[in-house]
Each structure stands twice: as C-alpha cells, then as structure tokens.
Amino acid sequence: MLPAYFVKIDKIPLKSTGKLDRNALPAPDTKDFQGSYVEPTNDVEKAICKAFEKVLGLDRVGIKDDFYEMGGDSLKAIEAVVETKLNGINVSHIFRGRCPEEIAKIYQESVISDDGISADEKNDEAMKIEHPLTTEQLYMVDYQLYTPKSTMYNLFTMLKVDTKLYNMEDLAKAMYNVLKNHPALLTTFHFNEDGDLVQKYNPDLLEEIKVEHISEFDFNQIKDNLVMPFKLIDSKLYRCRVFQTEKAGYAFIDVHHSLFDGTSFKVLMANMVKSYMGVELDKDYYYYILDKREKEQQSEFYNEAREYYEKMYEDVEWSVKPEVDHETRDNEMGELASKLDIKDEEMSIVEKNFKISRNEFFITVALLTLSQYNKKDNVKITWIYNGRDDANSMNSVGLLFRDLPVALKLNDKRTIRDLYQDVHKQVQNAIKYSCYPYEDLDAEVVSEDGACLLYQQDIRDGGDLEEMNIEMIDVRQNQAASQALMDIQILDGEGGLETMIDYSASRYDEDSIVKFKDIFMKITQLLLHHTTQDDITVGDVRWEISTENSFFKFVAGIFSRKA
C-alpha cells in the first residue's frame, strides 16, 4: 500500500473553495526515482538495458533497475523481447528476473544449457515427429466431440476485393504461399499406438487453390453454405476457396480453432498482404514452439510453476461461473453484445492512476460482477494470454494461447485499489509461470468449466486491409453451438469498446445473461469514473450496484436496454 513515488512540494495547491486541487499537483518524473545507476557489464545486459530504455521511454536504465517498477507490463515485455534481438530470450525471463542483471543470468543459463543448434534446424526436426496435443487443444477436441456435428470452433472469414485492383489468380497464389508457410495449418490429429491423440505435420494436405469463376447470383447461393463441421481425426482442418464474379473477387478461409487463435488471424492477414506484394514471409516456428514446451516439462522451473498454482488456488471453494438456470447436455449458442460507452482517454486515466493494464481492469470488473451475481465472496475466472513470448513465436500460426487463472477473496472492507494490485500481481505471476498448463492441475485446484475473460484488443480489425480496399464480409455460421459455458469478450477496436458475452443458451435463460451483463456494465462505469485518490471499498460497490442511488442518475436508462 506504499506509494510508488514521493514528491516534496513547497505548498499544497488549493482551489478557490479551499479544497485540494489534485490536478495542480506535479506529476512524478520516474527518471528521478530510479535506483543508483549501475552500468551493464556485458553485451547481454547492455542489450536488455537498451531495450528497456526504448520501450519505457527512459534516458538510462541500469542493471539493477526493476522493469515493472519503471512502468513495464506484459505488452511492453513482449516489445522488449523483440527489441533486445537476443536469440531465445522470452517474456518469462523478464518476469522472473525483473532487472537486467537477473534477466541476463537467467537468459545466459538457458543459452548455456542449449545445444547450439539453430531454431531453424530444431523446427525442421520437430516437424518430422509426432507431438502430443496441448492442454488447450485437448479441451477443444473434447468439447467439439461433445457436439461433433457443430461448427462451434470454426474460425472463418470472407474477404471481398475489387478485381480492378487485384488479380484473383495472384491472390490465390498468395494464399497458397501463406498456407505453405504456416505448418500448423498443414497438421492432422490421429491416435498413436498407445491410444494418445497426437499431431503431426502433413505437407500432403497442401493443394493448389484455383479461382472459381461464377456469377454473383451463384456466389450468394454458395457463400452461406461454406462453413461446415470439420472431421477432427485424420483430416485437413482448414478450407480455402477463391471466387471471381462479374462484380468482385472473394477469398474464403476457415480453420478449426484447435490449430488457430486470434493472434494467428492477424498473422495470416498480414502475411496474405505481404505475399501478394511479393514480400518474403518470415519463418513460422510452430513445431519448434511445441518442442520447447514439451522439453520445459523436465525443468525445475516447471515444477516450481505447478507448486505456485497449487499453493495459490487450492483449499478454497471458488465460485467460478454465474449459477446456471438449467442442467442439460444440450449446447445451444447464445450471444449478447453491448457498447460500453467508454472514451479511450477515460480508460487511460484509470490505467495510469492505478498502474494496471486494460486487461487487468476488466478482469477486476468480471470478478466483482461474478461475486455480485452469485452473492459469493471467493471468486475465480480464467483469462487468455496469447502465449507468444519470444521473437520466434511472433509470426507463428497455431493455438498457442494459455488459459490462466486469477481469483479474489472479497469482503466489504477491501479497497478497489487493493483488488487492482492483487489482480495485477496474479496476472504477472501467471505469465511468469505460464509454462505449466494450469488446467492440468488436480480437480481439487481446477474447478469445473467456468467463466473466461478475453480482452481481444483490436481482434476485429483487419490491419491494413481497409487501406488496401479489402473488405471483410459476413458469412453465415451453420450448425453453430456454444464453445464454452461463458466467455466475456472485451472487443477493443476502432469502433470503441464493446462487450460480447458468448454463453450456453441451453444452460442460461436470456434474462439471466441480461442481468449479468447489466451488473458488469454498472461496475465498469462505477470503477471507470472513480479516479480520485479516495479509496472506495467492495462494500461501496455492492451498495451502489444493489440500490438506485446518485451515482447512476446521470446515466439513467443506459443499462436497461437489451443489446
């Protein structure tokens, strides 16, 4: 609870009313508060210090300076990893070491333990052998088999292009090159001799993409029947087609989620543009990443990670999901979306004042919402970390994210500032220990299927597509089903912040989800507009939410609309 910085001032600035004028207080200059400067002693320390200086906007960083105390977070850690240009350094090294001196030690130990074989060679070797499915892949396969004839995990998009600007034959070749470049897309699942489900690179899946010349009328008849269920075992898990009509060109791609995630979509779109323009594509190290994760299971740090999760989350009866209305094996999909009515500058003030990320803010909101809805004090959800923690993984397509936990033990006296810091620390530790798949823990620690918060940032944006006159158009999803009990997505793009709740409509009534959404939005607004140094407590939030009082009068009505 100690402030991060202390600033001496000659006098306290006051308003004309005699009250403290907080806006007139001088902002601390973090450069003045770094510890005694200790210069780098080797090239590795120097590279890390220089990277920290650039991503944090500082003039000088010494080897004793703590990355997170200087304003670092998980996103800046990823930027720093890329900026160091050190082969093999990853985000976990930064989370574990925190200061350049310790990070360099951890990094150099991992390099020394390495066998000197290049990442390219290791990836090529890893592509020749079978690999077990990851915990996240197994979950999706199991859930898909629960509703096998559904398209619950189909991730698809349709691009519309102007044929006066783009040659469709060249676009088809570009898509072919992209598929060839990403080995995860050319992967099949099968059972090995021991009955375990494994994955293996299968280059024979790659087929030439031919432009289909059809009428616009016929295209409109076809396009809404393109999304179909995948056969999971011994089968290709992607589809790609290119059409040309008298009006436009269209490119369709559909990939099963077990080999594809949100970051993969961004990589794929960016590489399609590069390939069309004749730019050589960066290598995809998907199988090297799998191989590294498998080898990590033999390390002492892997065991340390397991012990952290056990100690942190065991021996507590956590409330992990909104209480369901129906117990059934049916799996109908439900979806509820609402604009969050948040200005970016408002969000930035909260992030700066409380030193939290946007992801951590909404995790806190989701936990408070779950507590308020269920009337429970001990609440836990999961959140998604994209799993790209080193330079080699930035261009990789595949299901690489990690499903990580965060929990709060609430009582009326805990302050929101305290909750933010609790969540912030758990998020940092979860990334630090993300080498261990949390969902693999015993049932006593990992509860039943629960709610998940997904901060999607700009997942809906197609990058440079709009500037290149490429439009993403809607395609009907046939045979849809719920892919989770409840996912609370925060979509953050050019259109502003929006919440999208995907849920099992077979287990929740619509009125219940509307109630949950309304509580979520109320708590979001309450925390968003509380940016002063005065602490509010969990009890204050509960009282505000459960009564019609002054705070909500100025936003009367915005929470009652069904989106």
For 410-465, write each residue's pLDDT tens digit: 999 999 999 999 999 999 999 999 999 988 776 555 556 899 999 987 654 555 67
- Report yes or no: 59 and 29 within 8 Å, Cβ to Cβ: no
Q: Write down the domain spans for the chain.
A: 22-112, 125-287, 297-323+334-390+397-473+481-555
Give me 306's structure tokens: 């397991």
What pLDDT is attached to residue 9?
87
What DSSP letter does each residue of 283-338 carry, written as one string? PP-HHHHHHHHHHHTTSHHHHHHHHHHHHHHTT---B-SPPPS---S---EEEEEE
* Three-class SS state of 229: coil
Query: What pTM did the predictor assign?
Result: 0.85
Contact 508, 488 (CB under 8 A): no
Three-state secondary structure string covering 184-227: HHHEEEEECCCCCEEEEECHHHCCCCCEEECCHHHHHHHHHHCC
Cβ-in-10-Å burial (0-12, 13-18, 19+) of 250 comes to: buried
Sheet of 451-457: strands edge to edge? 333-339, 496-504, 486-493, 451-457, 378-385, 402-409
What pLDDT score was predicted for residue 109? 81
**pLDDT at site 484:** 87
Contacts of 162 (CB under 8 A, 6+ apart): 248, 249, 469
- Domain 125-287 fold: Chloramphenicol Acetyltransferase (3.30.559)
Residue 213, amino acid? H
Q: What is the pLDDT of residue 463?
A: 55
553 backbone dihedrals φ, ψ, rounded to 5°: -65, -35
Whole-number pLDDT of residue 158: 96
In the CATH hierarchy, which top-level class contains the domain 297-323+334-390+397-473+481-555?
Answer: alpha beta
Shared fold status for 22-112 and 125-287: no
What pLDDT does 31 receive?
Answer: 55
Tens-level pLDDT at each residue, the chain (563 residues): 566 567 788 888 888 788 888 878 887 665 555 557 899 999 999 999 999 999 999 989 999 999 988 888 877 888 899 899 888 888 889 988 999 999 999 888 877 666 677 889 999 999 999 999 999 999 999 889 888 899 999 999 999 999 999 999 999 999 999 999 999 999 999 999 999 999 999 999 999 999 999 999 999 999 999 999 999 999 999 999 999 999 999 999 999 999 999 999 999 999 999 999 999 999 999 999 999 999 999 999 999 999 999 999 988 999 999 999 999 888 899 999 999 988 888 898 898 888 899 999 999 999 999 999 999 999 999 999 989 888 888 899 999 999 999 999 999 999 999 999 999 999 999 999 999 998 877 655 555 689 999 998 765 455 567 677 889 999 999 898 888 899 999 998 777 899 999 999 999 999 999 999 999 999 999 999 876 667 889 999 999 888 755 444 433 333 332 33
In terms of Cβ atoms closer than 10 Å to its own Cβ (0-12, 13-18, 19+), residue 298 is exposed
pLDDT at position 532: 63
Query: DSSP letter string over 111-129?
Result: HHTS-S--HHHHHHHHTTS
Q: Domain 22-112: what homologous superfamily?
A: ACP-like (1.10.1200.10)
- Helices and strands, counts by H and E, the chain: 16, 14
How many of the other CB atoms lie within 10 Å of CB of 244?
21
User: Residue 156: what pLDDT?
Assistant: 95
User: How far is C-alpha 514 from the chain's CA centre?
Assistant: 25
